[in-house]
């Protein structure tokens, strides 16, 4: 749901909007100056996100690098009209302090977006392109009903990974190798 706007909202105005009591238990993003409410997740969406988080965090803990988390808002310094909130994000550099208020002031290294029933595939691909243009190194788009994952990387063609193949971490997550079926809850984790 896009909130009606007669003007472009800034990150500062967006933060004020989020602090209103009626918005505390809701999820919003600021996309090109428009305040957009995120859809309530389904069981399938939540389980899928949980599986991705599990495997990314196991990878991160084994290597002593960053952890993956859900629904972290981030913004790119200098961009006053965007505060994005991907389903999953992972910052690999462990020296940065963890953000405790507001949006993280940098783009994550890895993002996973899981298609909700109302999401359009092209909108998800446009979102991935925005992420890559703003510093994200690897974006996975997960399509539960279609049973495939797309890998998006700067300077590379989109790679489509069917449920029966393996997801790679490429040079961003070296050694990360995951049978795609393990992040599709209908297969009960592969």
Domain range list for the chain? 41-187
Fold of 41-187: tt1808, chain A (3.90.1570)
Q: Tens digit of pLDDT per residue, the chain (190 long)?
A: 444 545 688 878 888 888 788 887 788 877 888 888 877 778 899 999 999 999 999 999 999 998 999 988 888 888 888 788 899 999 998 787 888 887 788 899 999 999 988 889 999 999 999 999 999 999 999 999 999 999 999 999 999 999 999 999 999 999 999 999 999 988 765 5
- Find the angle CA(75)-CA(53)-CA(102) to the nearest 5 degrees: 25
Report pLDDT for 103. Answer: 79
> Residue 34: beta bridge partners?
31
Report pLDDT for 53. Answer: 97
Contact (Cβ atoms closer than 8 angstroms) between residue 176 and residue 169: yes
Report pLDDT for 188. Answer: 60
Q: How far is CA 34 from CA 23, 83, 136, in A?
A: 16, 10, 21
Report pLDDT for 189. Answer: 52
């Amino acid at each position: 749901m896009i909130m009606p706007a007669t003007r472009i909202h800034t990150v500062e105005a967006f933060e004020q909007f989020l602090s209103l009591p009626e918005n505390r238990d809701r999820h919003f993003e600021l996309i090109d100056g428009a305040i957009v409410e995120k859809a309530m997740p389904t069981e399938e969406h939540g389980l899928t996100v949980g599986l991705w988080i599990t495997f990314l965090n196991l990878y991160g803990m084994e290597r002593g690098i960053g952890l993956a988390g859900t629904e972290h808002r981030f913004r790119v310094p200098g961009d006053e009209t965007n505060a994005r909130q991907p389903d999953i994000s992972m910052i690999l550099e462990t020296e940065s302090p963890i953000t405790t208020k507001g949006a993280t002031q940098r783009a994550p290294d890895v993002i996973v977006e899981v298609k909700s029933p109302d999401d359009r595939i092209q909108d998800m691909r446009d979102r991935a392109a925005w992420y890559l243009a703003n510093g994200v190194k690897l974006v996975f788009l997960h399509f539960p009903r279609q049973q495939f994952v797309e890998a998006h990387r700067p300077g590379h063609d989109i790679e489509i990974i069917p449920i029966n193949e393996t997801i790679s971490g490429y040079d961003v997550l070296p050694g990360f190798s995951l049978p795609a079926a393990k992040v599709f809850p209908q297969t009960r984790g592969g």
